[in-house]
Amino acid sequence: MTRERARRLRCDVVTVIRDGVVLASAERGGRPSTPAHREQLADIDAAEDFLRAYHDAHPASGSLADRLAEVRAEIARSGTYRHTAAELAYGARVALRDSGWCTSGVPWRRLKVRDLRGIRNAPAVAEECFEHLRLATHGGKIQPLVTVFAPDAPYRPGPRIWNEQVVRYAGYESADGTVLGDARYTGFTAAAQRLGWKPPTQRSKFDHLPLVVETASEGPQVFTLPRDVVHEVPLEHPELPWFVELGLRWHTVPLISNMRLLIGGISYPAAPFNTWFVGTEIGTRGLADENAYGVTRTVAARLGLDTRSERSLWRDRAIVEINRAVLFSFDSARVTVTDHHTEALHRLAWLRAGPRNGVHRPAFTLAKQAAHRARHGSPPCFEERAGRS
């Protein structure tokens, strides 16, 4: 190919890419090109596996043969198909049950699924994420929910949410390398500022990061969380009066927002879901971890522990007290929370029940780039690039 010809292709062809996969390729002003179209066809095998599983679980739902014929015809015509509301709810429930985030006591069979597949623009996605938080908080009696936004379709990708969870705390890195706030999110915090987010004038350890929603047509957009949607619990200890002086707190709803929901060959890139917190997710991973808030050494010092040698197990003793404070504070505030021992037993019982059959089971999945984006704010989900990929 001559250099001039390559230049013409770069000028005349636009390729839309997300997470390293060709989403659509089209001539400017023209129809999509064939290779990208093949990339986006719904997986018929996955669709058929899912529909058979759904009809096995719901024998009164009608003729499987008729539904399979309908879906095959729809895929042949448009490259995709639409789940019924009942199919969507079943797929989301099974995906949550098998995700590893389904904490003990979650009534997954009765899990409420908010069907918002008609929503794909960034402001509406953000507003419904905030409404999800309001509904899930439920006065402290946390309500597990799944909200499903528009799916990917040929040449019409669904929205993406950058944040790992809808509520996360900013991390401000100083020139000397010290961090105010959650050190896991220094990169995301800086990226949000580049996108136009303005932190509070008086910065604190627990400033809420904005929600970042990206669509192919709008690019990444930032939305400040309304104060009324975030319920937080100040942390205190049942036996250590000084613990409250540390000024620690945590939000009550773990609303996971950057995982992709796969159901029967259809991909829902924005399907935020929540159950409730396991105490160690807050105490150990959030507050104690040196890569997050890193309060372990401070707590150990207040406990009078010998921190000169790891052999004293001062970290273990301090982390136990941090986790005790989390459970005590959530229980005192009457907010649903569970402990890691209960969850370990629950998970073991689930594993002993045997493997779930089927290679195309509904699932929540996390791409490496999505995980990276949630911490570092890059790369963008969509980019228009000249030339073929």
SS (H, E, C) the chain: CCHHHHHHHHHHEEEEEECCEEEEEEECCCCECHHHHHHCCCCHHHHHHHHHHHHHHCHHHCCHHHHHHHHHHHHHHHCCCCCCHHHHHHHHHHHHHCCCCCCCCCCHHHCEEEECCCCCCHHHHHHHHHHHHHHHHHHHCCCCEEEECCCCECCECCCEECCCECCCECEEECCCCCEEECHHHHHHHHHHHHCCCCCCCCCCCCCECCEEEEECCCEEEEECCCHHHCCEEECCCCCCHHHHHHCCEEECCCEECCCEEEECCEEECCCCEECCEEHHHHHHHHHHCCCCCCCHHHHHHHHCCCCCCHHHCHHHHHHHHHHHHHHHHHHHCCCCEECHHHHHHHHHHHHHCCCCCCCCCCEEECCHHHHHHHHHCCCCCCEEEECCC
Q: What is the pLDDT of residue 199?
A: 97
User: What amino acid is encoded at 284 in this protein?
Assistant: T
Are the CB atoms for 382 and 369 separated by under 8 Å? Answer: no
pLDDT reading at 342 higher than 60: yes
Q: In which band, very low, low, confident or very high, does the pLDDT at 387 lie, cut at 50, 70 and 90?
A: very low
Q: In which band, very low, low, confident or very high, does the pLDDT at 389 lie, cut at 50, 70 and 90?
A: very low
Closest CA to 233 of 211, 215, 217, 250: 250
Percentage of the residues of the chain whose pLDDT score is greater than 70: 83
Q: What is the pLDDT of residue 202?
A: 97
Q: What is the pairing mode between strands 145-148 and 112-115?
A: parallel
Are the CB atoms for 139 and 335 separated by under 8 Å? Answer: no
CA atoms within 13 A on the CB side of 56: 7
pLDDT reading at 149 higher than 90: yes
Q: What is the pLDDT of residue 10?
A: 31
Between 358 and 8, the more confident residue is: 358
What residue has token string 């599983």? 53
| Model confidence pLDDT, tens digit, residues 226-243 | 999 999 999 999 999 999
Between 368 and 22, the more confident residue is: 368
Percentage of the residues of the chain whose pLDDT score is greater than 90: 77
pTM of the model: 0.86
Q: In which band, very low, low, confident or very high, does the pLDDT at 48 lie, cut at 50, 70 and 90?
A: very high
Q: What is the pLDDT of the chain when averaged over all its residues?
A: 87
What are the φ and ψ backbone dihedral angles of 212, each rounded to 5 degrees? -115, 120
CA pseudo-torsion sign 100, 103, 105, 111: negative
Between 347 and 272, the more confident residue is: 272
Q: How far apart are CA 253 and CA 341, in angstroms?
A: 20
